[in-house]
Amino acid sequence: MGKKVLGVGLSVAQYFCYTKNVDDIYKQLKSYLDYLEIEKNRSPSTRANYERYLGRFISFTKIKTIGDITESSIREFRVHLSKPDMNLKKRTQAYYVIAIRNFLKYLAIHDYKTVSPDKIELPKIPTRQINIVRYEELERLLRAPKDDSLRSLRDRAILETLFSTGLRVSELCSLDRYINVDRGEITVRGKGEKLRIVFLSERTKGALVTYLAKRFDTEPALFISLTRAKKPKVIGRIIPRTVERIVSHYARAVGITGKITPHQLRHQFATDLLANGADLRSVQELLGHSSITTTQIYTHVTNRELREIHKAFHGKRRE
C-alpha cells in the first residue's frame, strides 16, 4: 500500500502502522493528540478535528521536525486557507489557527524550542448571526404533535425538553428514562465530561409523564427510535439525525420558513431567558458554555436596556 498524506488519507495511528521511518513531527503530533484525549479529557471528535487541522498544516508545509515550524510557514498556510478555491469560511480558517496555536502551547510547556504561540494572532471572526423565530411560531412548533400515539407523545416531549433545557442534541439523545420528573431537574454530562443541572418546565414535565406512561418497553433510553409501522416497535436509543428530522418535520407542518434545527431551540432557550431578565452568567451555566464569550452572541438580540432607552428617548421631537 502506498503512503498517503496525513490529513487526507491516513490518520496518525494508520500513519504509524504503514510508515517505518516516522518523522519527528508526527511523533509529537501523536503525543499531543493523546494528551488532548487523556489529560485534557477532550472528546474523540475534538481529537479527530485537531488531527485533521494539524495534519493538513504538516502536509502543506512539508515540515519534518518541530524546528521546521516557523512564523513564515504558518503565514503561508494561512494564505493557502484563505484562497477562494479552498472555500473555507472565516470561522473554519480560525479553527485551523487555533489548533496550531494550541499545539505550539503544548510544545512550549514541554520545553521544545519553536515559534512562540503568542506570536500567532487569531483572525477576527464576524459575530455569528443568531436567527430567532417569533414566539408565536415557537408555540405553534411546540404544540405541533397532536395525537396521543407513542410517536407523537415522544415528539412533543422532545420538543418541550429541548426548549425547556437548552440541551445540545447529543445531550438529549444520551438521557436515560429513569429520571425523577417530579423533581424537575436533570443532571447532564456535557462537553468535556462536565456535569451541569438543567431544569424542566411544568409543561415539559407533563409531556414527559404522558409519554413515559405510554412506554411498555425495557429500553433504558429516555427517547427512543421507532419503526415506521402502524404499530411501531422500539429499536433502541434515538440518534441526533432523527431528532433533527423531527424538528424539521414539525416546523414545516406549522408553516415556519427557513431551516429549523434542534440547536435553534437551544438558541430560543437562551434568548428567552435573557429577554426576560436572566443574567448572562446564569445563562452560561445553564447552556454549559466554558466561556462567557460564547454566550455573548445572544446579547445583541436580547438587550432589554437598549430597547427601553430607544423607546424612552428616540424621536421625542416628532411626537
Please tell me which residue in 42, 47, 267, 289 is annotated as part of the active site.
289
The single residue listed with the C-alpha cell 432607552 is 309
Q: Give catalytic status of residue 146 as yes or no.
A: no
Q: Give catalytic status of residue 233 as yes or no.
A: no
Please tell me which residue in 30, 177, 191, 215 is annotated as part of the active site.
191
Q: How many Cα atoms within 13 Å fall on the side-chain side of residue 222?
A: 24
Q: Give catalytic status of residue 318 as yes or no.
A: no
Under DSSP, the state recorded for 188 is: E
Chain centre distance of CA 21: 38
Q: Which helix (H) or strand (E) segment is 195 a member of? A: strand 195-199
- Are the C-beta atoms of residues 199 and 184 closer than 8 Å to each other? yes
Under DSSP, the state recorded for 236 is: E
Cβ atoms within 10 Å, residue 15: 21
| Assigned C-alpha cell, 314 | 428616540
Please tell me which residue in 56, 168, 205, 267 is annotated as part of the active site.
168
Q: Between vectors from CA 19 to CA 17 and to CA 21, what angle results, nearest 5°?
A: 130
Q: Give catalytic status of residue 249 as yes or no.
A: no
Q: Give catalytic status of residue 96 as yes or no.
A: no
Q: Which helix (H) or strand (E) segment is 226 a member of? A: strand 224-226
Q: Give catalytic status of residue 168 as yes or no.
A: yes
Using CA atoms, how far apart are residues 139 and 134, in angstroms rounded to an integer?
9
Known catalytic residues are: 168, 191, 263, 266, 289, 298
